[in-house]
Structure 1
Amino acid sequence: MSGTDTIVAADVVVTSPGRNFVTLKITTAEGLVGWGDATLNGRELAVASYLRDHVAPLLVGRDPARIEDTWQYLYRGAYWRRGPVTMTSVGAVDLALWDIKGKATGQPVYQLLGGAVRDRILAYTHASGWDVPRLLDAVDARREHGFLAVRAQSGVPGLGTVYGVSEAAAGHERPDRHGTGPDEEIWDTDAYLRHAPEMLAAVREHAGPGLKLLHDTHHRLTPGEAARLGRALEPVNLFWLEDVTPAENQEVLRHVRRHTTVPLAIGEVFNTVWECQTLITEQLIDFVRTCVTHAGGISHLRRIAALAEIWQVRLGPHGPSDISPVALGASLHVGLSTPNFAIQEYMGYEPVVHEVFRHAWSYEDGHLHPGDEPGLGIEVDEALAARFPYEPGYLPVARRRDGSVTDW
């Protein structure tokens, strides 16, 4: 990059090869192209509009090499800050500019971040089954594919669907592909609290002590209920217990932490370092789960990592199939170069997604690596992407048995 290069175009690509993805393409006068993920599950078009209508016009004419200045310009230069739509948009720009920087210098992004501090990145995947026998079969299947860490979820007796798991089949947590609004599920906390310890104990007994076992509560417990569950799960030796309670009021985690030693992971819905600050500095969690896209890109995720490192909190970023291979690649570049990066979520993608988003990152034997191609190592087949138009989709809404809405 000569230093005189400028951004000449910023285009938004919306495609739906199995599920919706929003991608930002930044092009420079010297012909370099950078890609950024702007997918916000269930609210994709809001980010697409924010980028297309408000951010893209501000980028044309800017120096693509000034990554930090552009981040500050988009974040601090706007009166309305933070929030998932804004930060996902900023994150997409940041990823694309790091991609350009790597391509301009001929280096993979992790080298520009200080180089590798590990040889590969531990990955965890999802296993689910409506009942315990089917869950155990799913865990076995994931281990046969090489995974050393598995998040286990099952149905709950008396409920029809739970966390994307249905009696008919175990599926991913993905939007239902229709435009008529979200499906509504019935939730029963007492039934879950009776079932979860027995279910996870069965997985531990079946899999043995070597498997890194994770579980997600999806924000549905009060602090007292979360503390009870954490204490009940201590004999299971979880790698982490995720999202035990909504964390908007971060002080409530003090109650959970006082009553259980189970490792806690929170933060996939966080968008800035300030949302993580109390949880990190008071060591109320063990893992912070902020996503490289939704938390403002590589530049801002590194700030979160730096704060967390001081307080011995590790990173385990959000990364199921509701972020595109662009964001997963970016997260892996951060992971390879960040000392306190612990684990990366990886559910995999349908084959066509790999065709639309050609990538250098790879999975092998329970681990991921970003690859050594310049930049993020991602190229998008725009012609193929155009064959998959956007389809409206919604994640389900949960209601208690009395009809009142509860947290998802």
Structure 2
Amino acid sequence: MRITRLKVTPVNIPLEAPLLWSGGLYPGTSKLIIEIFTDQGLVGLGEAPSVDVLATVQRMGELLEGMVPLDIAACEQRCLPPWQIVQNTDDASVAKAFGAIEIGLWDLRGKAWGQPLHLLLGGKVRDAVPFTEYFAFREGRETGPEAVAEHCLAMREAHGSTLFEGKLIQGDPLLEIRTVRLLRQALGPEPTIRLDSNMQWSLPTAIRILREIEPYDVRNYEDPVATFEEMAALRRHSSIRFSSHVPDLRRAVALGTPDAIVVNFAVLGGIGRAIRFIGACEAMGVDFWCYSGDTGVCTAAYLHVSAAMPWIREPSQSLFRWQVGDVIEGGPFRQKNDVVPVPDGPGLGVCLDHEALACWHRHFVDHGPLDHFHDPAAPGRMRRLPLR
């Protein structure tokens, strides 16, 4: 089997209502959907977490024509410089670009052998994977603490949800403290509450906030401050666990924080390198879970890897309920009673919905990539929260 060509399609996946984060108004996500065609008629599906690597993925596709897709190591050597210098070049995004393709190579491997990805990785240790419901201040929806609490209660009533994670990002420490207090009072002692600040707080303010919310049993706080060094200082004032999207395991171990890394497989260079990274996390006692906002292609990869890796013990993040569309048949995935079943089909176990793919590509062409840095209070400017 040989690769004949790669097709790369940029798409937008809007949310039903934009949410507020530290960078601005987040209306949804823009992704690259990759199709790897072969001379045996099999097509592998991959996904890039952002559209900035479009030209790089296309160039790599040309390099991979004629390659054997099952030989992932040879494909990587064709596309990347030696790994030890990948992060020391002018453009380290080549790892993300190839990582997106590599997901598709694993999908092809499973389809060629007629086996689901989780069996290629050693088999399932769980049949379903937990994901959190999301909460946030959303434009035209939940604009205050009471509405956020009511949203979470509605998710529990409708879907059996007990795992919640969200952003309470308005630049107001008292608003965050009040919202956490209302959430715990509304949900009771059992449900999980995790927070994500997107690095919005200064160290003194983070110390104050964590002191006030600690009685409400916050399971984890993601990126409460801007650096691992500040997290290490914050750790002296709080027992709440920290996580980060920055996959710098060496610094995490050296500083003793964060307690978990939360990242996309493509950012790590693909599924193979993600498995090795997760193994290193296990050896060092650092948790790992997957972040949110992907289409069903990358989410399927999360499901298979999480099913096969005992160390992924915590629920991954999810915006499933808020995504208005997807590119796979039957998508987006939706959790029930906190979990999503692992697909059983060969490879990733998902199929493209070509009509939906065309729809969301047209959205990208008509509107451009979705802008995550728009300030709702100052059109035309990037958001600037007061540094408190």
Shorter-chain TM-score tier? 0.7 to 0.9
Counterpart Cα distance in 2 of 1:152 and 1:350: 13
Counterpart Cα distance in 2 of 1:80 and 1:13: 29
Equivalent in the alignment of 1:122:
130
Note if contact 1:8-1:60 (Cα within 8 Å) is conserved in structure 2.
yes
Note if contact 1:120-1:367 (Cα within 8 Å) is conserved in structure 2.
yes
Distance 1:302 1:357, change over 3 A: same
Of 255-264 and 277-286, more deviation after overlay is shown by: 277-286
Q: CA RMSD in A?
A: 2.9
Equivalent in the alignment of 1:151:
165
Q: Secondary structure at the match of 2:269?
A: coil
Pairing of 1:139-288 with structure 2 (within 5 A) = 139-144=152-157, 145-154=159-168, 162=169, 188=171, 192-247=172-227, 250-267=228-245, 270=246, 275-280=248-253, 282-288=255-261
**Are positions 1:12 and 2:5 aligned together?**
no
Equivalent position amino acid for 1:213 in 2? I
Q: Secondary structure at the match of 1:62?
A: coil
Note if contact 2:133-2:321 (Cα within 8 Å) is conserved in structure 1.
no
Q: Secondary structure at the match of 2:206?
A: helix
Return the match for 1:300 from 239, 254, 273.
273
Equivalent position amino acid for 1:130 in 2? T
Note if contact 1:12-1:24 (Cα within 8 Å) is conserved in structure 2.
yes
Distance 1:362 1:72, change over 3 A: farther
Return the match for 1:91 from 81, 85, 99.
99
Counterpart Cα distance in 2 of 1:243 and 1:17: 25
Distance 1:51 1:118, change over 3 A: same
Equivalent in the alignment of 1:51:
57
Distance 1:223 1:306, change over 3 A: farther
**Are positions 1:328 and 2:299 aligned together?**
yes
Equivalent in the alignment of 2:20:
none
Note if contact 1:125-1:149 (Cα within 8 Å) is conserved in structure 2.
yes
Q: Secondary structure at the match of 1:365?
A: coil
Counterpart Cα distance in 2 of 1:357 and 1:311: 36
Alpha-carbon offset, residue 28 of structure 1:
1.4
Distance 1:72 1:231, change over 3 A: farther
Equivalent in the alignment of 1:63:
68
Return the match for 1:105 from 100, 106, 113.
113
Note if contact 1:8-1:27 (Cα within 8 Å) is conserved in structure 2.
yes
Alpha-carbon offset, residue 253 of structure 1:
2.4
Equivalent in the alignment of 1:375:
347
Equivalent in the alignment of 1:21:
31
Counterpart Cα distance in 1 of 2:192 and 2:98: 34
Counterpart Cα distance in 2 of 1:284 and 1:79: 24
Alpha-carbon offset, residue 13 of structure 1:
1.4
Distance 1:404 1:117, change over 3 A: closer
Counterpart Cα distance in 1 of 2:2 and 2:320: 35
Alpha-carbon offset, residue 405 of structure 1:
4.5
Q: Deviations over 1:283-333 (max 9, x none)?
A: 31222101123332212221221111112221121123xx21111111111
Note if contact 2:145-2:175 (Cα within 8 Å) is conserved in structure 1.
no
Q: Deviations over 1:19-39 (max 9, x none)?
A: 533111111121111000113
Counterpart Cα distance in 2 of 1:280 and 1:75: 27
Alpha-carbon offset, residue 397 of structure 1:
5.2
Equivalent position amino acid for 2:299 in 1? L
Alignment: residue pair count: 354
Alpha-carbon offset, residue 61 of structure 1:
1.4
Pairing of 1:357-396 with structure 2 (within 5 A) = 357-358=328-329, 363-388=335-360, 389=362, 390=364, 391-392=367-368, 393-396=370-373
Equivalent in the alignment of 1:318:
291
Distance 1:130 1:284, change over 3 A: same
Distance 1:384 1:207, change over 3 A: closer
Q: Deviations over 1:245-279 (max 9, x none)?
A: 223xx333221222211011111xx3xx5x23211
Counterpart Cα distance in 2 of 1:222 and 1:72: 42
Counterpart Cα distance in 2 of 1:79 and 1:55: 19
Alpha-carbon offset, residue 228 of structure 1:
3.1
User: Percent identity at matched positions?
Assistant: 22
Note if contact 1:231-1:259 (Cα within 8 Å) is conserved in structure 2.
yes
